[in-house]
Amino acid sequence: MDAYITQEGRREDLEGLDANPYLGYIGNKAYPVVSTTQKVGDIYAATLTADSAAQAGLARGTALTTVRLTESANAYSCTSVEKRYAISRDEVKQMGGIEKADRIGALASKRSVQRYVETALAAQLQTVGNHQTGAHVAGSFLTEAQTALEAIHRYPGRKALMLGWSCFQGIMRFTEVLNQFSLAALAIGGGDAADVLAGRPAALRMLLAGIIGVDEVLVGDDDHWGVDVGSSGIGCNAVFLALPGEDEFSHKMDPVLGKMVQYLPDGKQPYIIESYYDLSLKENVYDAETWYSIEEYNPEAAYVLTDVIA
């Protein structure tokens, strides 16, 4: 009987499983994770300080005007996201044993939690809010892309375009974009001609990056990044942004867009998975949980181009 009953307690052996290896999640590219052992607290982050004019021709003995650079304190409060799945004892037998069942149950619960977080990250970025913004006009996408890049050029980091799959497909069908297809753009983007002709998404992303002059085009799953595409929702928006540095504490050195604060109670995995066997229901139960808070420190590091597709 033990061959069909899971372990009880924390499952660190399952917490590192990749829950979405095919599509992946892109939200943390815009809001990288900052780990914390406190659910509530303050994070100090750098903000963009406008350049101050230098002083010329000062008479000796005249003091220089001091411009002080400071960090801003940002309060955060992490909230929990949880999901439970269960697999009956009889199902475990059909799955080939408890090890396979543990993997299936853990992946299902973790994936549900990650999907919730990814949707929240997409909504944060694609909603205009305090971001810079402009409305798309048909036939003007390439010009609008340059306007957006100019608007965020003072923010350090790789420049990227982030959008949902439907929005990406719509842009790739724009006449002005199709007219720019060339081996030169392909070379700039780093793609391969055969891959482009085959319509491979990675190659098309690199081609578009070469055409509009960004370092990277990041395309998200429409389940998260294509909200209300058919009714002029935020899924119709494309976002140009300066990607924060990968260093966990890049927000202290540079004025970055923001971070996702994630509570790690033991400093190990941000996604906690636990399992136990329910004697009364004769099923194995798998719980996944995480605590997070999306924080923006410099919202103007993102430029939201609205209504790119109808």
Give the model's pLDDT for residue 264.
86
d(CA 46, CA 298): 9
Q: Is residue 58 domain-resident?
A: no
Q: 10: helix, coil or strand? A: strand
pLDDT tens for each residue of 123-179: 999 999 999 999 999 999 999 999 999 999 999 999 999 999 999 999 999 999 988
- What are the residues facing 259 on neighbouring strands? 295
Does this model's pTM top 0.95? no
Give the model's pLDDT for residue 72.
81
pLDDT tens for each residue of 23-56: 679 999 999 999 888 999 998 888 877 777 888 8
Give the model's pLDDT for residue 22.
59
Give the model's pLDDT for residue 182.
62
d(CA 179, CA 197): 15
Q: Is residue 60 domain-resident?
A: no
Relative to beta strand 283-296, strand 272-278 is: antiparallel
Cα distance between the two ends of the chain: 57
Q: Is residue 54 domain-resident?
A: no
State the DSSP string of 152-174: TTTS-S-EEEEEEHHHHHHHHT-
Residue 29 region, left (φ>0) first, then alpha (ψ -120 to 50), else beta?
alpha
Domain that holds residue 137: 2-48+71-306
Relative to beta strand 258-263, strand 33-36 is: parallel
Q: What does residue 250 show for φ and ψ, rounded to 5 degrees?
A: -60, -25
pLDDT at 268 over 80: no
Give the model's pLDDT for residue 82.
97
Q: Is residue 158 domain-resident?
A: yes
d(CA 294, CA 15): 22
pLDDT at 262 over 80: yes
Per-residue tokens: 296: 């923006």
Give the model's pLDDT for residue 26.
94
pLDDT tens for each residue of 60-90: 888 898 887 777 888 999 999 999 999 999 8
Domain count of the chain?
1
Per-residue tokens: 57: 């021709």
What is the number of residues in the chain?
310
Q: Is residue 63 domain-resident?
A: no
d(CA 37, CA 31): 18
pLDDT at 185 over 90: no
pLDDT at 196 over 70: no
Summary mean pLDDT of the chain: 88
Give the model's pLDDT for residue 199.
56
Q: Is residue 156 domain-resident?
A: yes
Neighbours of 61 (CB within 10 A): 5
Tell me the H-state helices in the chain: 12-15, 27-30, 89-95, 98-126, 141-151, 165-172, 175-178, 183-189, 193-197, 201-212, 222-225, 250-253
Q: Is residue 280 domain-resident?
A: yes
d(CA 225, CA 238): 10
CATH number at residue 116: 3.90.1690.10
Q: Is residue 202 domain-resident?
A: yes
Residue 245 or residue 256, greater confidence: 256
pLDDT at 21 over 80: no
Is 216 in contact with 209 (CB distance < 8 Å)?
A: yes
